[in-house]
Amino acid sequence: MTRVGNNFGFADAEQIDRADRELTYIAAISEALREEMRRDPNVLVMGEDIAGEFGGAFKVTKGFTEEFGDRRVMNMPMAELGFVGMANGMALMGLRPVIEMQFADFISTAFDSIVQYAATNHYRWHAPIPWVIRAPADGGIRSGPFHSQNPEAWFVHTPGLKVVAPATPADAKGLLIAAIRDNNPVIYFESKPLYRALKGHVPPGDFVTPIGKANLARSGDDLSIITYGAQLHEALAAAERLAQEGVSAEVLDLRTLKPLDTEAILATARKTGKVLIVHSANRLLGVGAEVAALISDCAFEWLDAPIRRLGGLDIPVPFSPPLEDAYRPNAEKLYAAAAALAAF
């Protein structure tokens, strides 16, 4: 897997090397959507500016209107509450909508349609709501507080939803396909910093990453780093630096935030006895707090050090580059925290 720069801008999403099946993170998302729309005529996409030549703010659906028509590639007004409510109705009638939030930050506008209705509907009257919300999240790209948030903890806290957060091109494809086929409403958090900055092998064709299964991204013996999304790559960089100093760090990529892979989390905690949990979202009451509580409840006797957490500061995401760098975890901060934990 290779970095290909840090531009998350507006180039065509289909940056595909056909010879060795290397795709950018965003091209993998686009391919998953195309393949599922070709496979199942009930799958449709909807969102702001996604149809026609524009193809969405990040060009994920560029060319989709020409292939699938305007009944399956639907532009929506700036009214997230309304069009997620519309997707609820579509899903109840047998369709499988994939909703693009232009930025994950805007998902709060649709909170009632998601949390009050879609998440509770199967429990209330046994009617599934099989939609997916694609939520482009995360910062590090100097876009300020309205275009850089990580609101995953809201939805992990909500019964009835599933929540995924792929960190690699392969999982970007595999988890999106799994989410589209799932009969539950799924929030699919995309890491904007990875869109065109990361390339990797993606299996062709019908490739599914199972929801609820973490991935051991690096094996180690001295401490465990548990993370997801863009922070996986910061964790792997920190682990490589630690290895040069004789410290063996294991890195677990959660991939699915709800349901959590409790077996994988507990296995790595019991193996190394030292755990650092990292995410881009602000640390206070984030997903890492639940992971830490799980380990404390079920693996306390295996621990050789306090569980450590690293996350964003409890402030809105700053515009200023130096302030955003201070706000956000990175490989250097990860390395320092992990080195201190290893030495405990």
CB neighbours of residue 282 within 10 Å: 19
DSSP 309: E
Amino acid at 112: D
CA dist 23 and 29 (Å) reads: 10
Instruction: Kindly name the residue from 122, 147, 201, 279 that is annotated as catalytic.
Output: 147
CA dist 106 and 79 (Å) reads: 10
Q: Give which of 135, 136, 193, 137 is closest to 330, Cα–Cα.
A: 193
CB neighbours of residue 154 within 10 Å: 15
The pairing of strands 249-253 and 215-218 is: antiparallel
CA dist 318 and 328 (Å) reads: 10
Residue 240 has phi, psi (to 5 degrees) of -65, -40
Q: Give which of 51, 239, 257, 12 is closest to 156, Cα–Cα.
A: 257
Angle (CA) 289-155-108 rounded to 5° is 120
> 126 catalytic, yes or no?
no
Q: Give which of 163, 186, 331 is closest to 249, Cα–Cα.
A: 331
The catalytic site residues sit at 147
